[in-house]
Chains A and B, each alone.
Chain A
Amino acid sequence: MKYAMLIYEPESQFNARREQPGESPFWAPWRAYHKALLEAGVYAGGSPLDRPDTTATTLRVRGGDRHVQDGPYADTKEQLGGIMLFEVASLDEALRWAAQCPAAHYGTVEVRPVADLNHIFGPEHGHGS
């Protein structure tokens, strides 16, 4: 099954991601985590989000009209900071990987199964990552 891990973290993390140089110790746990995911063959894509909620734009289309708003969909203290996809056998395995994510140790991560829509879009769907 494929699982998405949504990473919620404090604003300071967004700043750190932009400010910390590649050789800084800030990145070491993330590099190790990424490497472990790749080596185990469970990494199925993902990306951090660039800036905190201040750059988020929310859009709804209702009755043909675009409603564009400043700000994130849900205003919370910890913000959605990134997303990762895992290809694993069960929720338990996904939670094991999630527990190793550096962000789980200072923020909160939410693990959810990804909808399997191959029967709608064909088997190539989902291989784009």
Chain B
Amino acid sequence: MAAGPDAARRAVEHVARVSYARLISYLCARSRDLPGAEDALGDAFAAALRTWPRDGVPGKPEAWLLHAARRRLIDRARLDQTRAANTAALTQLLAEAEDLSTVRAFPDERLKLLFVCAHPAIDARVHTPLMLQVVLGLEAADIAAAFVTPASTMGQRLTRAKAKIRDAGIAFEVPSGAELAPRLFAVLEAIYAAYGFGWDDVAGADDKRRGLTEEALWLARTLVELMPEEPEALGLLALFCYCQARRSQRRRADGSYVPMSEQDSTRWDGSLLAEGDHWLREAAGHQTLGRFQLEAAVQSAHVERLRGGSVSWDEIVVLYDGLIAVAPTLGARLGKIAAVAEARGPAAAFSLLDGLPAEDVQQHQPYWAVRAHLLQALGDARASEADVALQRALDLTDDPALHAFLESRRQRRA
């Protein structure tokens, strides 16, 4: 009991990191008042920071926090007459939280909360930020920075979404039947977007965004833990494992950029790669192919080829074709074009590239980099076009390492 102030503070931080999502999910699955639950849990953590150093860390820290948060919620509900309907739900909460002092575990409602955050009645732009804030407890200002959105705009969107969840009476439930597939896809997309924002910060210059890949990986793991039979959830987790395994190798020690094909594959994280293989096999066992499994399969093939496996470029092209059939994103189409260049030469690849709609590619940095690369491969006759494309690729990046890498390509040709 006689934990020093430091030990007590560490205990609070530990519970916050490990149990925040479960605590907030439990509270709002019952009260359906997400902003209220967040405030109440925030107050409970503040109270813990005040009292644990004095009184010692309680035997069941989570139960203690829930108890404190629940009292806050009920006090507030009594003041707020307009939500009289919530009182019944809160009475239930009261009774259940009372039991928590005797019961070891409290119900895990995280899955319900994930589905609420990506609910179709909520503005799709806010699905990912909402998940990061509500499930992971990230600060609104940090989320705004990661999504390159003004903090006030992001704050308003989050506040509006949380008020809608409460006021429109969105159910805290895992959808079933025909509703499940589209709803699950929205959850997966939101987690995928969170990973993408973290991944794009290649330089790791931005602390907020670097953390996002870890957080997204954690969300994907949680989802698989809660829905172990969903092939697309397994596919998403496999995809993240493959990406995360080689994440740190995208830069040399001096900070310079290394394209995937030039990375030292022996320095990739072998256990994460093995884990990716494991989840992809699990997913394949269900024999229901989908976008995220195909994305993972493409990554798996790239990794396998670079580690000396017997994967051909033609096979990689086929995987991209499958992916494009279900998710024709610009990224997937450029990936295919790069693979076609390897399998059938730059001329075949360039004619595919030229078929991409001009309005989609205008501001897309990777398009101009691939274009420059193909034009250079096509020889001197296309050299001036290659220079134009390379300049455009340079203009569209503010990452100094990528800038330097592209410059070196220009010099290599000169």
Contacts and interface: CB of A to CB of B under 8 A. Distances in A.
Tell me, yes or no, whether A binds B: yes
A116 B170 CA distance: 16
Interface string A73-92: 00000000000000001111
Contacts of B171: 89-93
Interface residues of A, number: 14
B27 to A, nearest CB: 17
Contacts of A119: 81-82, 84
Interface in B149-183: 167-171, 173, 175
By CB atoms of chain A within 10 A, which of B81, B167, B168 has the most?
A: B168
- How big is the B interface, by class? 10 to 19
A38 B101 CA distance: 43
A118 B288 CA distance: 51
Given A91-B121, A92-B173, A113 B84 contact: no
A91 B170 CA distance: 5
Chain B contact residues: over half helix, strand or loop, or mixed?
A: loop
B85 A113 contact: no
B168 A91 contact: yes
B277 to A, nearest CB: 38
Contacts of A59: none
A90 B84 contact: no
Contacts of A89: 169, 171
A90 B167 contact: no
A1 B84 CA distance: 11
A113 B169 CA distance: 8
Contacts of B81: 119
A1 B85 contact: yes
B84 A91 contact: no
Interface centre among B82, B171, B173 (most CB of A within 10 A): B171
A105 to B, nearest CB: 15
A98 to B, nearest CB: 11
Interface string B71-82: 000000000011
7 contacts: A90-B169, A91-B169, A91-B171, A95-B121, A113-B169, A119-B81, A119-B84
Interface of B: 81-82, 84-85, 121, 167-171, 173, 175
Interface of A: 1, 3, 89-95, 112-113, 116, 118-119
The 10 A-B residue pairs with the shortest CB-CB distance in the complex, in nearest-first order: A90-B171, A92-B171, A1-B169, A91-B168, A91-B169, A91-B170, A90-B169, A119-B81, A113-B168, A113-B169
